[in-house]
Structure 1
């Protein structure tokens, strides 16, 4: 489960000077990133498949509500809320909440997944592929820091993410498949704020 959250939210520091960027890949990402930034509110429903060598794969459904930089991520056992100031990670199983300040620098999240490429990755255009009957452009991102994940593949169609897959150095992998994407919708403010009264029997830890 930690790897699932990691794909969307782990903070990373990268070396900009080491980047190698394919012009076609950059054009596609620039266009998609600009489109997403204009649509400051959105909802995404996705299926994720997490695989570890020698273990049974995990597949479940997740949802994200976002407005500008704020977001509310819902997974089967973990909820994460970023209210613009702090990140609250809520474990339903352990009844624990951790609160932390948003890190400076490059942080992979639902609201910047299409802009993080601007630093810290070597980027190549891998051609076109059909995914679930949708023609997609495939872009490969390889971290310049070799200690990070092995690679990330983004599948884009009509300037939208169709699939995100990440391969880790330990052989595990995570695939996020977008099921539903809605733009320019009204996101209830209560989803983008943390209210401790909703978690009275939870333990809150400040990091």
Structure 2
């Protein structure tokens, strides 16, 4: 779940001049950032693929995420993760269990909603990459290369629909050969959301054990 949240963070991409980047890549990413910030909320249906030829691993999963400000609800691989702005609730129906935890905003390793607009502020070199035509859409890729030698990722490719200035997909390539791809199937904005969209309601899970980690 942490990996998928990390990739979804790229959907709400927020880059700054602090990073090493070329002017063309920065201009394109700035357009995406400005558009994302203009939305009140975002609902995404996505496909997540994990591939490793050496290990003969090929896995495909689908999921949804609703985001508003620093709150989100993620449904992925049968698990629901709710962040209400203070606490994270991880709901696992298979185990009839809910885990409640408080996110440490000062933990640099923690990928939190509040960091979604600053996730790649530092630590990456940016450059323009290839252009592909996908179903009539012009997808321009921007390559991100981690500057930290200890980072297990070789590179990240962010595919941008240049007509809509929205993210089409995000590809992470690990140094050991694993490739994970998140493809946006639908991108809806400014939807009418229930008042309790980002609220954990314990009464909905009467037989679940609730574990508080802190």
RMSD: 2.7
Among 199, 209, 212, which residue is 1:205 paired with?
Answer: 212
Which stretch of the first structure deviates more once superposed, 106-115 or 53-62?
Answer: 106-115
Aligned to 2:195: 189
The 8 Å contact of residues 20 and 122 in structure 1, kept in 2 or not, is answered as yes
Tell me how far 1:177 sits from its aligned partner: 0.8
TM-score (norm 1): 0.83
Partner Cα separation in structure 2 for residue 111 and residue 61 of structure 1: 24
Which stretch shows the higher mean deviation, 47-56 or 121-130? 47-56
What corresponds to 2:47 in structure 1? Answer: 47
CA offset digits 1:78-98 (Å, max 9, x no partner): 211111111222233333333
Instruction: Encode CA deviations 1:104-131: one digit per residue, 9 max, x unaligned.
Output: 2666467865642222211111142223
Aligned-residue offset at 1:3:
4.0
- TM-score calculated relative to the size of structure 2: 0.81
Matching residue of 1:21: 21
Relative to 1, partners in 2 of residues 1:122 and 1:180: Cα closer, same or farther, differing over 3 Å? same
Q: Rate the CA distance shift 1:103–1:166 in 2: closer, same or farther, 3 A.
A: farther
Q: C-alpha displacement at 1:17, in angstroms? A: 10
- Counterpart among 171, 179, 183 of residue 185 in structure 2: 179
Distance 1:99 1:120 in 2: 31
Deviation at 1:203, TM superposition (A): 3.6
Unaligned runs of 5+ in 2: 10-15
The answer on whether the counterparts of 1:167 and 1:173 sit within 8 Å (CA) in structure 2 is yes
> 2: distance between equivalents of 1:70 and 1:2?
15
* CA deviation vs aligned residue, 1:28-61 (integer Å, no higher than 9, x gap): 1111111101102111101111123423411121
Distance 1:111 1:104 in 2: 8
Identify which range, 135-144 or 17-26, moves more after superposition: 17-26
**Distance in 2 between the 1:30 and 1:141 partners?**
15
* Counterpart for residue 12 of structure 2: none
SS at match of 1:129: strand
Alignment of 1:133-152 (within 5 A): 133-148=136-151, 149-152=153-156
Q: Which runs of 5+ in 1 are unaligned?
A: 10-15
Separation in 2 of the partners of 1:124 and 1:28? 11
